[in-house]
Amino acid sequence: MRKVSLDELAPGMKLAKDVILDDGRFLLLKGFTIKKRYIDKIRLYNIPYLYVEDEIGKYEHFSEEVVYTETFQTIKNVMESVRQGDTIHLPVLKETVDGIVQKILNDDNVFMKLTGIRDIDNYTYLHSVDVCIYSVIAGKSLNLTDSEVKELGMGAILHDIGKCKVPLCILNKPARLTKSEYETIKKHTQYGYEIVLSTPGVNPAVANIALHHHEHWNGTGYPSGKSGHKIDLFSRIVAIADVYDALTANRVYRKRFMPHEAAEYIIANAAQYFDPDLLQVFLDNIAVYPADIIVLLNTGEIARVVEAKGEASIRPKVMVITRKDGPPVLDPYEIDLTENPSVNIVDIIS
Ligand SMILES: [Fe+2]
Examine the pLDDT at 93 and tell me if it is beyond 80: yes
Examine the pLDDT at 193 and tell me if it is beyond 90: yes
What HEC string does 205-267 produce? HHHHHHHHCCCCCCCCCCCCCCCHHHCCHHHHHHHHHHHHHHHCCCECCECCCCHHHHHHHHH
97 CA from centroid of ligand 1 (Å): 19
Examine the pLDDT at 317 and tell me if it is beyond 60: yes
15 CA from centroid of ligand 1 (Å): 38
Is residue 5 within a helix (H) or strand (E), and if so which, with residue range?
strand 2-5
Q: Say which range, 39-53, 64-78, 226-240, has the weakest mean pLDDT.
A: 39-53
How much is the pLDDT for 327? 67
How much is the pLDDT for 58? 46
Q: Which amino acid is at 54?
A: D
How much is the pLDDT for 115? 59
What CATH number labels 60-285? 1.10.3210.10
185 CA from centroid of ligand 1 (Å): 9
168 CA from centroid of ligand 1 (Å): 15
CATH T-level fold of 2-52: Molybdopterin biosynthesis moea protein, domain 2 (3.90.105)
272 CA from centroid of ligand 1 (Å): 18
106-139 pLDDT, tens digit per residue, is 876 766 665 555 555 577 888 899 999 999 999 9
> Do the beta carbons of residue 229 and residue 238 sit within 8 Å?
no
DSSP-derived letter for residue 33 is: B
Average pLDDT of the residues in 25-39? 73
Q: How far apart are CA 152 and CA 155, in angstroms?
A: 5
Examine the pLDDT at 325 and tell me if it is beyond 90: no
Across the chain, mean pLDDT equals: 85
> Do the beta carbons of residue 156 and residue 188 sit within 8 Å?
no
Domain ranges of the chain: 2-52, 60-285, 294-348
Looking at per-residue pLDDT, the higher value among 254 and 2 belongs to 2
How much is the pLDDT for 3? 80
> Do the beta carbons of residue 12 and residue 65 sit within 8 Å?
yes
How much is the pLDDT for 27? 72
246 CA from centroid of ligand 1 (Å): 10
243 CA from centroid of ligand 1 (Å): 9
Average pLDDT of the residues in 2-14? 81
Band of pLDDT at residue 143, cut at 50, 70 and 90: very high
Q: How far apart are CA 261 and CA 258, in angstroms?
A: 5
Number of Cβ within 10 Å of residue 341's Cβ equals 8
Average pLDDT of the residues in 82-87? 90
Q: How far apart are CA 75 and CA 237, in angstroms?
A: 20
193 CA from centroid of ligand 1 (Å): 11
Average pLDDT of the residues in 6-16? 81
> Do the beta carbons of residue 310 and residue 285 sit within 8 Å?
yes
Looking at per-residue pLDDT, the higher value among 157 and 328 belongs to 157
Average pLDDT of the residues in 37-50? 76
Q: Say which range, 183-192, 207-216, 302-311, has the weakest mean pLDDT.
A: 302-311
166 CA from centroid of ligand 1 (Å): 11
195 CA from centroid of ligand 1 (Å): 14
Examine the pLDDT at 305 and tell me if it is beyond 90: no
Percent of the chain clearing pLDDT 90 (strictly above): 40
172 CA from centroid of ligand 1 (Å): 14
333 CA from centroid of ligand 1 (Å): 42
Band of pLDDT at residue 57, cut at 50, 70 and 90: very low
How much is the pLDDT for 77? 92
The alpha carbon dihedral of 161, 165, 166, 167 has a sign of positive
214 CA from centroid of ligand 1 (Å): 6
Looking at per-residue pLDDT, the higher value among 157 and 37 belongs to 157
187 CA from centroid of ligand 1 (Å): 9
Q: How far apart are CA 159 and CA 126, in angstroms?
A: 13
Examine the pLDDT at 242 and tell me if it is beyond 70: yes
> Do the beta carbons of residue 136 and residue 156 sit within 8 Å?
yes
- Which conformational region is residue 174 in: left (phi greater than 0), alpha (psi within -120 to 50 degrees), or beta? alpha
